[in-house]
Structure 1
Amino acid sequence: MSHPDLNLLVTLDALLAEGSVAHAARRLGLSPSAMSRALARLREATGDPLLVRAGRGLVPTPRALELSERVGLLLEEVEAVLRPAEALDLSKLTRTFTLRASDGFVENFGPDLIARVNREAPGVRLRFVPKQDKDSGPLRDGSIDMETGVIGKATGPEVRVQALFSDRFVGVVRADHPLSAGQITPSRYAAARHVLVSRRGSEKGYLDDILEIQGIRREIGTMVGGFAAALALARASDMVATVPERHTRDLRADMFSFALPVPVPEITISLFWHPRMDADPAHRWLRGCVRDVCAASAGQGRAEA
């Protein structure tokens, strides 16, 4: 089935407005012969002569008069679609954005982000969903609007990425834990029982690979799916939780935190979104809010260090 030539709508609008092939041709910058051919195509497409000779001029048929108003409205709608987006009015914006992030990110950055959004765009709601993996499928299909985390092998090559801040891992124990006194050596750290954070239920983590290079092996006492759960267990037991420092700042407030006794590379927390959202004004505004909130929090973290 052939698709209609939508350019014919522009031609029909000019012919109906001018009532003359020559005048319509001048209006559209065409030659009279090209306009005559376009009129022939319109007649074939509609099954109606549309304009018929009356003396020296042309008059519209009833079908042409019926189409006249509809064609004008259609062209107005097309022009509106192709017109650049109007300036974003945050006070009138009504929209729900879905952000996929870890519990730690939501707990530490969520309150400031929500407060910022409420001040600038009261009609906007944020919906946070947990990170089960690093698959970029939800960004592609639009089920989430943006995501925060560390770049992984499952991150799609087309996904836009912007670094937010760097974080480092620290050890955390309850306030009166034996490790809260004295020097924390690699052997003391490894000898304690540890909470392993693994979303996939693995019995070995990123940190274990680093420790093994230095001939150290820690004892895993239990495994959990998130940093909040790891800290809750460490607070109520003799176990050690190893967590990102800035992600868990508030959760560690009443606990003893210490620098790891082995060198561990920092991680970069980034913001991810699909390229189709690049030019969306509201999405661009929210990306800026996330960046600002994270920058302010990172600066506070450096000041407290």
Structure 2
Amino acid sequence: MSDFDINQVRRLDGGLLLVFRECLRRRKAQEAAQVLGLSPSAVSHALTRLRDLFGDPLFVRKPHGLVPTRRALELEPQVEALLQLAGAALGGREAFDPSTSQRVFRVSAPEFVTDLIGGRLLNALAAEAPGVLFTVEHMVQGRALEALRRGEIDLAVGRFAGGFGEHRTERLYEDRYCVAARRGHPLIDGRIDAQTYALAGHVYAMAGSETAGDENLPGPLEMTIVARAGAPHWMTVLVMVAASDAIATCPRRLAERHADMLGLQVMDPPFEPMRLAVEAVRRRRTDDPGIDWFLGQLRAAVG
């Protein structure tokens, strides 16, 4: 290592790296200061040192907050790796005890996944990890993977169209689409033909927040849409179907889970149903026994 490199390293400390990371995550100096327990002036001073160290403005102040420069975005994965290595070197692989943990796990997942596994997951945590909480946000694929990369969430769950980059993924379960209608429907009794499918009114859930961003209709047949749920809010769709003569094409596991409660009949569509794979994605370089444990809870909740 040259004298120049040694001098540069001497000027760099973990506190500066933390300020850099939080300013990238929050895009607001004041919020970064609050997270780190620093004063705004301390964050401002750290940014000045970072700019001098890297020979780049790194962040441009705008009315809505801090906008990172191209150099800052290039540095982000390297800084994150340094912080991960520093944490591992100082603390080792920290043990995780679910019975005493107060950890909050942050997850991105579409509604059809959380509706399917949320109840079982809550019961499992209440029994095994009463202090553990989890939060769920609905994000499309690009936003979910970016949030994962920035450390804003621990896991991204849903349908993905590839592009995992530095992350690693595993399949949680597979499903296929079905048709749901209320029991006692005047035209449908346990099965549905192509003509009835085409003429019956459909409640259609837009699939933009199912992470993969696929907004295509799930089958090759024409359909008459009478209502759209825009999140998609699958439970809203199923409740509307249960209270009307409309039908819905939706994930089968979800429909079967709520069929008895809502009084639904669940049928194969009159075409080869589209299949969907639900995957869990995590940061590749993260060696975290807590996330290992929580992912195991998700697998068990699928049933």
TM range (shorter): 0.5 to 0.7
Q: Which residue of 2 aligns with 1:189?
A: 197
Which stretch of structure 1 is more off in the superposition, 78-87 or 182-191? 78-87
Paired residue secondary structure (2:237): helix
Report deviation, 1:200: 4.4
Q: Which residue of 2 aligns with 1:207?
A: 217
Q: Which residue of 2 aligns with 1:92?
A: 100
Report deviation, 1:170: 0.9
Alpha-carbon separation, structure 1, partners of 2:93 and 2:115? 35
TM-score for both structures, normalised by structure 1: 0.63
Q: Which residue of 2 aligns with 1:232?
A: 239
Give the unaligned 5+ runs of structure 2: 1-6, 13-85
1:265-304 alignment runs, 5 A limit: 265-277=274-286, 279-294=287-302, 297=303
| Aligned match for 1:142, one of 147, 151, 160 | 151
CA contact (8 A) 2:108 2:139 kept: no
Q: Identity over the aligned pairs, expressed in percent?
A: 27
| Aligned match for 1:217, one of 200, 218, 222 | 222
- Who wins on radius of gyration, i.e. which is larger? 1
Q: Which residue of 1 aligns with 2:248?
A: 241
CA contact (8 A) 2:183 2:189 kept: no
Alignment CA distance shift 1:163-1:235 (3 Å) = same
CA contact (8 A) 2:190 2:267 kept: no
Residue identity matched to 2:217: L
- CA offsets 1:3-59 (integer angstroms, 9 cap, x no match): 4499xxxxxxxxxxxxxxxxxxxxxxxxxxxxxxxxxxxxxxxxxxxxxxxxxxxxx
Paired residue secondary structure (1:189): helix
Alpha-carbon separation, structure 2, partners of 1:167 and 1:258? 14
| Aligned match for 1:122, one of 130, 143, 162 | 130
Paired residue secondary structure (1:207): coil
Alignment CA distance shift 1:114-1:219 (3 Å) = same
TM-score for both structures, normalised by structure 2: 0.63
1:262 aligns with 2:276: no
Alpha-carbon separation, structure 1, partners of 2:280 and 2:114? 14
Alpha-carbon separation, structure 2, partners of 1:183 and 1:127? 38
Report deviation, 1:182: 6.9
Residue identity matched to 1:219: T
Give the unaligned 5+ runs of structure 1: 7-77, 298-305
- CA offsets 1:57-92 (integer angstroms, 9 cap, x no match): xxxxxxxxxxxxxxxxxxxxx999445324333333
CA contact (8 A) 1:174 1:238 kept: yes
Alpha-carbon separation, structure 2, partners of 1:98 and 1:195? 31
Alpha-carbon separation, structure 1, partners of 2:191 and 2:283? 47
CA contact (8 A) 1:133 1:199 kept: no
1:112 aligns with 2:112: no
Alpha-carbon separation, structure 2, partners of 1:113 and 1:258? 27
Query: How many corresponding residue pairs?
Result: 214
Alignment CA distance shift 1:247-1:144 (3 Å) = farther
Residue identity matched to 2:275: E
Alpha-carbon separation, structure 2, partners of 1:80 and 1:139? 19
CA contact (8 A) 2:256 2:266 kept: no
CA contact (8 A) 1:227 1:248 kept: no
CA contact (8 A) 1:169 1:245 kept: yes
CA contact (8 A) 1:173 1:179 kept: no
Alpha-carbon separation, structure 2, partners of 1:240 and 1:2? 65
